[in-house]
């Protein structure tokens, strides 16, 4: 049994969701909220498995409410629903920590499937929006180290040299690398020199950039 909190400023809309969700045995609407502030409060109070969140609401909107609910650290997952598929909403909602984003024209069974998935800790995005998410994904997310599209220069590196390159990418000095790898600094220098030559970098800074460009290092935005 999945408990659901329905958040929407329109009573009729809430009624529709309640009828639908209570008509199947697996879900139960345990509460309703008409705006963001109420959603945050009732989520803390009722601890529903899933919060069905509308975006456009008077006062605190669904995005901000989502942010606060997620920040609160409760186990409630937020599934955002909207009538429009505006980019800003999708982005903002996902960055706010929503577990899903669906359009209100979703078919009932898909909504139920979505709620089920979100309650299970998975995530759902309306197919019409997934397209755009994917486009950005492939644009921005760095190549996985295991990807088959690799720079031939990477293949020319020996195992040890690749380790060295990763270490360089972490910003370690030759001395630090020597300590952690338990070898002499001369050895590290030799390796570094070979790495630079192979990847065509003039100094370790270029090597750091190379490492980021090729997925050997990844940004930590924390």
Partner DNA sequence: CGGCACGTCGTACCGCGGTACTACGACCGC
Partner DNA sequence: GCGGTCGTAGTACCGCGGTACGACGTGCCG
Q: Which two tokens stand for residue 183?
A: 């070898």
Contact 141, 76 (CB under 8 A): no
Instruction: Determine, following the binding rule CB under 8 A, whether residue 45 of this chain makes contact with a second copy.
Output: no
Euclidean distance between CA atoms 163 and 169, whole angstroms: 10
Euclidean distance between CA atoms 141 and 55, whole angstroms: 27
Instruction: Determine, following the binding rule CB under 7 A, whether residue 113 of this chain makes contact with DNA.
Output: no
Euclidean distance between CA atoms 171 and 173, whole angstroms: 7
Residues in the chain: 222
Instruction: Determine, following the binding rule CB under 7 A, whether residue 183 of this chain makes contact with DNA.
Output: yes
Q: Which residue has the tokens 């984003």?
A: 101
- 146-153 long-range contacts, CB within 8 A, separation 24+: 147/215, 150/214, 151/214, 153/198, 153/199, 153/200
Closer residue to DNA, CB minimum distance, 86 or 209: 209
Using CB under 8 A, count the residues that bind a second copy: 63
CB atoms inside a 10 Å sphere around CB 73: 7
Instruction: Determine, following the binding rule CB under 8 A, whether residue 162 of this chain makes contact with a second copy.
Output: no
Euclidean distance between CA atoms 117 and 140, whole angstroms: 26
Sole binder of DNA in the list 107, 202, 220, 221 (CB under 7 A): 202
Stretch that binds a second copy, among 3-11, 18-26, 86-94, 190-198 (CB under 8 A): 86-94
Sole binder of a second copy in the list 39, 50, 57, 63 (CB under 8 A): 63
Euclidean distance between CA atoms 87 and 36, whole angstroms: 20
Binding mask 150-179 for DNA (x = CB under 7 A): --------xxxx-----------xxx----
Instruction: Determine, following the binding rule CB under 7 A, whether residue 184 of this chain makes contact with DNA.
Output: yes
Q: Which residues, numbered 120-139, are part of the site for a second copy (CB under 8 A)?
A: 120-125, 127-128, 130-131, 133-134, 136-139
> Residue 175: which of DNA, a second copy, none does it interact with, CB under 5 to 8 A by kind?
DNA
Sole binder of a second copy in the list 19, 72, 141, 197 (CB under 8 A): 141
Euclidean distance between CA atoms 176 and 179, whole angstroms: 5
Q: Which two tokens stand for residue 103?
A: 């359009």
Residue ranges binding a second copy (CB under 8 A): 63-64, 67, 87-88, 91-92, 94-95, 97, 99-100, 109-110, 113-114, 117-118, 120-125, 127-128, 130-131, 133-134, 136-144, 146-149, 169-171, 173, 203-206, 208-209, 212-215, 217-222
| Interacting residues with DNA (CB under 7 A) | 158-161, 173-175, 181, 183-187, 189-193, 196-197, 202-205, 207
């Amino acid at each position: 049994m999945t408990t659901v909190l329905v958040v929407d400023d329109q009573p009729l809309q809430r009624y529709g969701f309640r009828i639908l969700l209570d008509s199947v045995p697996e879900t139960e609407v345990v509460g309703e909220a008409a705006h963001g502030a109420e959603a945050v409060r009732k989520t803390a109070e009722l601890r529903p498995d899933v919060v069905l969140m509308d975006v456009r609401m008077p006062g605190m909107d669904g995005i901000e409410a989502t942010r606060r609910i997620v920040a609160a650290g409760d186990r409630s997952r937020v599934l955002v629903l909207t009538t429009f598929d505006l980019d800003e909403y999708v982005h903002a909602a996902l960055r706010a920590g929503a577990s899903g984003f669906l359009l209100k024209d979703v078919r009932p069974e898909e909504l139920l499937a979505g709620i089920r998935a979100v309650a299970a800790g998975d995530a759902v995005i309306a197919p019409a929006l997934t397209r755009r998410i994917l486009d950005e994904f492939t644009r921005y997310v760095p190549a996985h180290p295991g990807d088959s599209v690799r720079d031939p220069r990477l293949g020319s590196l020996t195992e040890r040299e690749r380790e060295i390159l990763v270490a360089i990418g972490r910003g370690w000095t030759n001395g630090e690398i020597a300590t952690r790898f338990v070898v002499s600094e001369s050895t590290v220098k030799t390796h570094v020199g070979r790495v630079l030559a192979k990847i065509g970098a003039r100094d370790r800074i270029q090597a750091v950039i190379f490492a980021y460009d090729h997925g050997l290092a990844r940004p930590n935005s924390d």
